[in-house]
Structure formats: structure tokens, C-alpha cells
Amino acid sequence: MGMFTSTRRIVKAGFINFWRNAIVSLSAIFVMTIALFVVGTTILASVFLSSAIQEIKNKVDVNIYFNPDAQESDIFIMKRSLEEIPEVKSVEYISREKAIENFKARHNNDFLMTQALDELVDNPLGAILNVKAKDTSQYEAIAQHIKSEQEAAGPGANLIYNVNYSKNKVVIDKLTAITKGVERVSYAVLLVLIFIAIMITFNTIRLAIYVSREEMAIMRLVGANNSFVRGPFIVEGMMYGIVAAIIATSLFYPTTLWLKGATENFYGGIDLFSYYISNLNQIFFVLFLGGVFLGGLSAFLAVRRYLKV
């Protein structure tokens, strides 16, 4: 019962300090709102970029073009061989008929090309194997496997006309580098923002301590223990974080609504407004925990540094 009473008094004192130091509280909430909003923006930007990059990854593949006279049975042997490779996600077979149909669809507006194709008696295109890897960094190993299969078949086999890996290699390498770079930058930005938020709240709590220095001196003289002196400021710091988290989460509503069209139209992008609405609880929970942690930790460090308790 004594611990419960003490905790209740500490929380009550924290609330009183929060409302009494209104100007200081507003300043702290303002800077923490900015910090948490930027943290939330970084999270949403990471989700958006990950979606766009994943869409681009899904477009990247290796196409194996076979000669028109290649036997379908031989092509399916290579298809099964590729599917057994751990790095391979899927292998799609495109028949000669489907290949020419797709080619005509792509060149539908090219009158000369369409006329030339109509005059051909035989289908000039061979079958295609569309190979997708589990990760863009694994296409090199897949290309090496295709090369070894081609060499093992011997020069007389004459199955493969072309493999477009060398043309896609530049795109694949750049995409792999961008993916890793985005991940590193996201982590670095989050760490910097956390540090800035702690320093801002630290100095705000220090100002609150300075305003209440005479009251605390009296508390120490009458025998108040360290927890009772420190507690109200930690509660106050946590309240800064809670209010800032509510405001920051609310600000994402008009922001994501405004960005709705731009994010939908971006290549491979997602509708950030819909994502925000469907993940509102999770976003608030993350910012809430972040605000409570940053506010409480900053207050603890400030009290420890300036009150010597």
C-alpha cells in the first residue's frame, strides 16, 4: 500500500508539473512532435521505398531464348534443372506461339513490323524460359548455371539462342546496391533522430528542473528520497512523449491524404494513405512507445546529471 501511495503521489506531481510549466511543456511537446513525426516519416518512406524496390525486383529476370528448332523436351529438361537450384524462385515456360503473340502485342502500333510478321510463313521465334531469382544478388549464380548447362550440352546441341543476363546485369547490380544503401541510410537516419530527440528533451527537462529548483531543494531538506525527487520529472517527460505521439500520429492523416495520388502513381509505389489507415494502431503504438521511451530516458538522464541523485 505504501509503494502504491508513493507511486500515485509521484504520478500526480508529474501531472501537476506538466500543467504548471505550460510554456515549457508546450516547447517540449513541439520539439518531440517534430522528432516523432520525422521518425514516423522515415518509417513510412522506408515502407514506400521497399514497396517500389520490390516491384522493380519482380520485374527483373533472366530470359533464356531458345532456337526455333529446339525440342520442347530438351527445354523442359533445362527448366527442371533450373527449378532445382536453391536461388531460383520460379521458372516460367513461354511457348513459341505465346512468344510470337506477345511480340505482336508489343509492336501492335508498328505497321511495318506487323506487316512483315504477317508475310512470314513460319514462326521465327523460339520458346523462352523466364527465370526469377529469390534475390537480385543471386542472378550471377543462375547465369553461371545456365552457362555450364549450355557447355555440357556441347556445340552440336544448338539449344540456346541468347541469354539476356549480361544486358540486365547493370540494372541488377544497381538495384542490389540501392536496396542495401536504402537499408543502411534508414537505420542511420533513425539513430540520428533518436539522438536528436533525446538531446532536445534532455535540455527541456533541464529547463523544467531549473524552474523548480527551489521547490526541489525544500523537498530534499525535508527528507524526500531520490525516487520521489526524480519520479515527477520522469513522468513529466513521458507525458511529453505521449502527447507528442498523439499529435504526430494525427498529422500523418492530412499528410498521407495529400500524398495519396503521388504515391499511387509512382512506379511500384503503394497508397500511403490507405497504408496509414490500415496500420494506424501499429503506427501510433510505435510512436507512443518511442515517445514514452525518449521522454522518460531524457528526463532520467537530466535529473541524474543536474540533481546528482
pTM above 0.75, yes or no: no
CA distances from 152 to 66, 82, 146, 159, 256 (A): 16, 14, 10, 12, 55
The single residue listed with the C-alpha cell 555440357 is 152
Query: Is pLDDT larger for residue 94 or for residue 12?
Result: 94
Q: What is the DSSP letter of 71?
A: -
Alpha-carbon gap, residue 247 to 36, rounded angstroms: 9
Q: Is the pLDDT of residue 25 over 80?
A: no
Q: Indicate the angle between helix axes 226-265 and 2-20, nearest 10 degrees.
A: 60
133: left (phi over 0), alpha (psi -120 to 50) or beta: beta
Q: What is the mean pLDDT of residues 127-147?
A: 81
Helix-strand-coil split of the chain, %, nearest 5? 75, 5, 15
Domain 68-158 listed as CATH 3.30.70.3040: yes
- Asked if 24 contacts 236 with a C-beta cutoff of 8 angstroms, the reply is no
Average pLDDT of every residue of the chain? 76
Local confidence band at 112 (pLDDT 50, 70, 90 cut-offs): confident
**C-alpha closest to that of 200 among 82, 86, 291, 84:** 291
| Model pLDDT for residues 146-205, shown as the tens digit of each residue | 777 776 665 555 678 777 776 666 766 776 677 677 778 777 877 787 777 677 767 776
What b/e string do you get for 62-101 counting C-beta neighbours within 10 Å, with b at 16 or more? Answer: bbbbbeeebeeeebeebbeebeebebbeebeebebeebbe
Work out the average pLDDT over 249-254: 91
Nearest Cα neighbor of 230 from 1, 7, 4, 5 is 7
Cβ burial 130-160 (10 Å sphere, 16+ → b, else e): ebbbeebbbbbebbebbeebbeeeeeeeebb
Domain boundaries, the chain: 2-56+175-306, 68-158
Q: Which pLDDT value is given to residue 121?
A: 66
Q: What one-character DSSP code corresponds to residue 192?
A: H
Looking up cell 536528436 gives 196
Q: Which amino acid is at 290?
A: G
**Higher per-residue confidence, 82 vs 179:** 82
